[in-house]
Amino acid sequence: MAETRDPAEAAGPAPPRTSLSDTDLGPPEGRSAGRHAETDSRTRRRRPEPEGLGGALRELVPLVLSALVLAILIKSFLIQAFFIPSASMEPTLEPGDRILVCRICKVFSDVTYGNVIVFSDPHPAPHEDRGIAGGFLHWLGEGIGVARPEDADFIKRVVAMEGDTWEMRRGVMFVNGIQVREPYLAAERDSRDFGPETVPDGMLFVLGDNRLHSGDSRFPPPGGLGYIPEEKVVGEAFVIAWPFGRIGGID
């Protein structure tokens, strides 16, 4: 007679139950264990602490130096600001005006009649010998605006160019026998006579718009400027940048 067994007993002992608490005791084997270990190590990794003032300075210094270099490059080759100290260019420019001068414009176009230009002193005093290092530091100071330029700068209007014959008759300007139309002049006119003279090669004849109060190419130094070598031109003045009420182009 066959022996009757309980089905559960025939199947053998039941496998142990796996509870949620058993699983939480430790990581399972294999890849998932590796991921848990990696997560734990990242969690334990300390975050970098702030570097304080030293770190801020290390970041700030390169930014400041870059800004200074950029400012010097712009001032030396592109655009430079100037302050108008006198009334010699009234009414076009008034004392206290801040203007912008395009330095790079002379690379792409020649100076021509009617341009308002800034130029260096055509008859400068001898320069102080500062040596190589001192000269570089002075140039750097000029670039960032903390050192005075070695040569004075002037601003006038181009009226005649090389080879032209100019003459002023009772305050009226003639170039090559043709009267020059000058709507920019101050109301008070200079009625004196000058010339005729021919502008030498490589030179410019410049005048202030306020003829009664301008030492310009009509007069030789020291009372005036005489003719201006073209290589002394810094650039063309193109806009009044300040004060706010006078912002606009320069004609």
Q: Which CATH topology does 84-135+151-249 take?
A: Umud Fragment, subunit A (2.10.109)
Looking at per-residue pLDDT, the higher value among 214 and 17 belongs to 214
What is the mean predicted confidence (pLDDT) over 228-250? 96
What pLDDT was estimated at residue 50?
A: 53
Q: Which position among 32, 76, 120, 156 bears the catalytic label?
A: 156
Three-state SS across 146-178? CCCCCCCEEEEEEEEECCCEEEEECCEEEECCE
- Among 93-102, 104-113, 225-234, the minimum mean pLDDT is found in 104-113
Between CA 102 and CA 81 the distance in angstroms is: 9
**Within the chain, what is the greatest distance between any pair of CA atoms?**
153
Between CA 195 and CA 169 the distance in angstroms is: 8
Can you give the C-alpha Rg of the chain in angstroms?
40
Between CA 150 and CA 125 the distance in angstroms is: 9
Q: What band does 9 get if pLDDT is binned at 50, 70 and 90? A: very low
What pLDDT was estimated at residue 166?
A: 98
What pLDDT was estimated at residue 214?
A: 96
Reply yes or no on whether the pLDDT at 119 is more than 80: yes
What pLDDT was estimated at residue 7?
A: 45
Q: Which position among 19, 32, 76, 88 bears the catalytic label?
A: 88
Under DSSP, the state recorded for 124 is P
Q: Between the CA of residue 108 and those of 25, 56, 104, 113, 235, what are the distances in Å?
A: 80, 43, 7, 16, 11
- Among 8-22, 104-118, 127-141, the minimum mean pLDDT is found in 8-22
Q: What band does 44 get if pLDDT is binned at 50, 70 and 90? A: low
Average pLDDT of the residues of the chain: 80
What pLDDT was estimated at residue 16?
A: 46
- Among 14-23, 40-49, 153-162, 175-184, the minimum mean pLDDT is found in 14-23
**Domain boundaries of the chain, sorted by first residue:** 84-135+151-249
- Our answer to whether residue 156 is catalytic in this structure is yes
- Among 8-17, 40-49, 177-186, the minimum mean pLDDT is found in 8-17
Between the ranges 105-114, 170-179, 182-191, where is the mean pLDDT highest?
A: 170-179
Q: Which residues contact 168 (CB under 8 A, 6 or more apart)?
A: 174, 190, 192, 193, 194, 195, 218
Do the Cβ atoms of 225 and 122 come closer than 8 Å?
yes
In the three-class reduction of DSSP (H, G, I as helix; E, B as strand; rest coil), residue 109 is classed as: coil
Residue 233, strand partner residues: 119
- Our answer to whether residue 88 is catalytic in this structure is yes
Q: Which residues contact 132 (CB under 8 A, 6 or more apart)?
A: none
What pLDDT was estimated at residue 193?
A: 96
What is the mean predicted confidence (pLDDT) over 3-14? 47
Direct distance between the N- and C-terminal alpha carbons of the chain, in angstroms, rounded to an integer: 129
Residue 179, strand partner residues: 174
What pLDDT was estimated at residue 68?
A: 73
Q: Which residues contact 242 (CB under 8 A, 6 or more apart)?
A: 97, 98
pLDDT exceeding 70 applies to what percent of the chain? 71
What pLDDT was estimated at residue 144?
A: 56
